[in-house]
Structure 1
Amino acid sequence: MATTTITERTAKLTLNGSASTNEGEQKPEQPQPTYRYAHLLPHFSQDTYPPLTPYEHADPGHRALGHANPRAFLGNATRVVELTPNLGTEVRGVNLAQLNSDERDELALEVARRGLMVFRDQHEFIDAGPEAYLEWGRHFGRLHIHPTSGHPDGYPELHLVYKDASSTFNYELHDSLLPTVWHSDVSYELQPPGLTTFFLLAQPSTGGDTLFTSQVSLLRTFSPQFRAFLKTLSAVHSGVEQANFSRSGKRGGVVRREPVEHVHPVIRRHPVTGEEALYVNRQFTRRIVGLKKEESETILKLLFDHIDRSGANQARIKWEPGTIVMWDNRVTAHSAILDYGESKETRHGVRITPQAERPVPALEGLELTNDTA
């Protein structure tokens, strides 16, 4: 099987080949040679990068719209199940590693339409290695290099999620009643990600599920009058707190690009499907442009709480070996579930993160400027 379960004794993270960690943290041990994905453990290079520059994104889903059968890539599927009416499809019998260019385009369109797709038994893809991961991701857009996270040595375009019994390089939530942080990945970028691929190389024997929510169906639950008002708004998304978390010595302690803040529409329109989606998230959205502080905080709290609580718009993914999850980051939000800490087991995941277009406002002509900066 492609995915394995690691206990405290079988895999511990090293930082740039050393066992040093932040003061007061337990020192992780050298990874044991039996771990088949040791070459994909987090590495925290000191490389720095210039600011991202705009690029012209060509969405592959557009090409699939012209296909005679835009769902032809599912022709060999042995099982296709809609996880919920609003979000998510689970597929068995389709080998992602064998999809050709047209089938990848069709996949992009289907993920845009369903928001989330779960592919089981993808061992060939997972074992293909980092060069294959990059080739796959580049089909869907320019690959994003995360400004603070760990990556496999030599492959900065691959974002890693890692937690073992003594180390973590994500946000600590032990002092919170709800250890979930709903977010759309790096929404603070001028061109945030679109079609995103994620899989686990190691997972706890139970727990560590991932929650997803449809920002399309969430938006539909609001009254027409309130939706119309939200379309007139834009909000600041900020990477400053994430960078400061690393600068404090955590998450590997590196900041490869200076943090940015960008203004995006509160309601965005998907460029392929035309669907409108709520585009705020608790982790990165900081304020609504042009409103007074109390007004902005009240509206954002309403929106964040709705995202947190609206189970009818959510899907929960239970991981099993060989699972690959793909989502459209433009129309969904997600959160890991940190419920496996007592097991002392490891969760080690890889995210392939192509960027997409700058968010398109649902309200034509909406100005995306920050008049409070």
Structure 2
Amino acid sequence: MSSTTIQTQTEPASATLKLRSSTDGKQEKDLAEYRYSHLLPVFSQDQYPPLTPFDHNDPGHRALSHPNPRSFLDNATKITELTPNLGTEVHGVNLRALGSDARDQLALEVARRGLVVFRDQQEFIDAGPDFYREWGSHFGRLHIHPTSGHPQGYPEIHLVYRDANSSFNFEIEDSITSTVWHSDVSYELQPPGLTTFFLLSQPSTGGDTLFTSQVSSLNKLSPQFVAFLKTLKAVHSGVEQANFSRSGKRGGIVRREPVEHDHPLVRKHPVTGEEALYVNRQFTRRILGLKREESETLLRFLYDHIDKGGDVQARVHWTPNTVVLWDNRVTAHSAIVDYGESKERRHGARITPQAERPIPALEGLELS
């Protein structure tokens, strides 16, 4: 199948959006007229050194001492709990206008609810990538993804992109389902905390995102079993994701060598103190200290438990100008790729601040 290259005047030849096929120039014309063409994914050849540890000061801590830590919601016109244990939907609050104190409160609210969906956020979305970076930096050090596309000149903005001819997502095509629960880049030494995501373009139907509460998933298990899980650590690996790109998929780029780190199976949130299950099918590979069969059996059980936990899950239906924030420390999520036959574009941007190294729920559990 032939490929056509779309390249802006300011892009180096190494940073291009490649389309699988285009026979009459219509694809190029559509992209040129696309409102968010300046945010299309590029794949630069830039190489980055390994990430270094840093001290993370969670802004939610500051909100704990506020006399009304939910005052940033005072002007909301509608607040709806998506489920009892996970997710809140908010109308009437302009995220673009939130100051530092309100952002601290937001961090605490997202930590407590796991997931907060804000509707009618065109001003936020249209503020552009310089604003996105400033926004995300309030919540932590911005993560640069090792393999994903990003807007030209803004490597801190992680993009997902799929249209009639192209896909630049980390997708497993030989599976009977597109549901793959994960916590973003959990293989990093200091994985993300509060994360912001929005769609710039979306299919007319489909393309929803599923979320699950890893706090509630843990609480479903028996106390004796949870006590055992707290003694365990698991390896989270970025190798498969890197190899996926090295095979020529996504954008064919690996900007930073993949890493593996061990994290506690049960982690503690630094602000709320809540304990959450911390394994995911996409990046967790093995449990340390267990024999292979034991590790595989236990991980299969936990993955199955997460997959089937419909009573602790929430589904976000994307409408135009929606911004979603979640806490990667206490939730997992999965995209739903059910819109492929429509040939419609789905173009999303993620702002991904890193947080602390996962804190073991079991005090004294040593991490290498």
TM range (shorter): over 0.9
- Whether 1:276 aligns to 2:275 is yes
Q: Secondary structure at the match of 2:31?
A: coil
Aligned equivalents of 1:255 and 1:16: distance in 2? Answer: 13
Compute the displacement of 1:173 (Å).
3.3
Q: Secondary structure at the match of 1:319?
A: coil
Aligned length: 355
Alignment of 1:211-226 (within 5 A): 211-226=210-225
- Give 1:8's aligned residue: none
- Say whether the 8 Å CA contact 1:236–1:262 is kept in structure 2: yes
- Whether 1:361 aligns to 2:360 is yes
Aligned equivalents of 1:173 and 1:272: distance in 2? Answer: 35
Compute the displacement of 1:27 (Å).
5.7
- Give 2:10's aligned residue: none
Aligned equivalents of 2:118 and 2:158: distance in 1? Answer: 20
- Whether 1:54 aligns to 2:61 is no
Aligned equivalents of 1:148 and 1:59: distance in 2? Answer: 27
Residues 280 and 19 of structure 1, relative CA distance in 2, 3 Å threshold: closer
Compute the displacement of 1:16 (Å).
4.9
Aligned equivalents of 1:243 and 1:217: distance in 2? Answer: 31
- Whether 1:205 aligns to 2:204 is yes
Q: Secondary structure at the match of 1:259?
A: coil
Aligned equivalents of 2:198 and 2:112: distance in 1? Answer: 21
- Give 1:72's aligned residue: 71
- The residue identity in structure 2 corresponding to 1:218 is S
**5+ residue gaps, structure 1:** 1-11
- Give 2:148's aligned residue: 149
Compute the displacement of 1:176 (Å).
1.5
Aligned equivalents of 2:321 and 2:16: distance in 1? Answer: 31
Compute the displacement of 1:32 (Å).
2.9
Q: Secondary structure at the match of 1:200?
A: strand
Aligned equivalents of 1:281 and 1:170: distance in 2? Answer: 18
Compute the displacement of 1:17 (Å).
6.4
- Give 2:239's aligned residue: 240
- Give 2:285's aligned residue: 286
Provide the TM-score with structure 1 as the length reference: 0.93
Aligned equivalents of 1:27 and 1:149: distance in 2? Answer: 23
- Say whether the 8 Å CA contact 1:13–1:41 is kept in structure 2: no
Q: Secondary structure at the match of 1:334?
A: strand
Aligned equivalents of 1:349 and 1:230: distance in 2? Answer: 35
- Give 2:228's aligned residue: 229
- Say whether the 8 Å CA contact 1:204–1:346 is kept in structure 2: yes
- The residue identity in structure 2 corresponding to 1:261 is E
Q: Secondary structure at the match of 1:312?
A: helix
Compute the displacement of 1:174 (Å).
3.5
- Between 162-171 and 220-229, report the one with greater CA deviation: 162-171
Compute the displacement of 1:178 (Å).
1.4
**5+ residue gaps, structure 2:** 8-12
Per-residue Cα deviation, 1:227-273 (whole angstroms, up to 9, x for no partner) = 00000000000000000111111110010000000000000000000
Aligned equivalents of 1:188 and 1:17: distance in 2? Answer: 26
Residues 368 and 17 of structure 1, relative CA distance in 2, 3 Å threshold: closer
Residues 124 and 257 of structure 1, relative CA distance in 2, 3 Å threshold: same
Q: Secondary structure at the match of 2:212?
A: strand
- Give 1:169's aligned residue: 168
Compute the displacement of 1:169 (Å).
1.3
- Give 1:91's aligned residue: 90
- Give 1:326's aligned residue: 325
Provide the TM-score with structure 2 as the length reference: 0.94
- The residue identity in structure 1 corresponding to 2:286 is R
- Between 127-136 and 174-183, report the one with greater CA deviation: 174-183
- Between 173-182 and 348-357, report the one with greater CA deviation: 173-182
- Say whether the 8 Å CA contact 1:13–1:167 is kept in structure 2: no
Compute the displacement of 1:110 (Å).
0.3
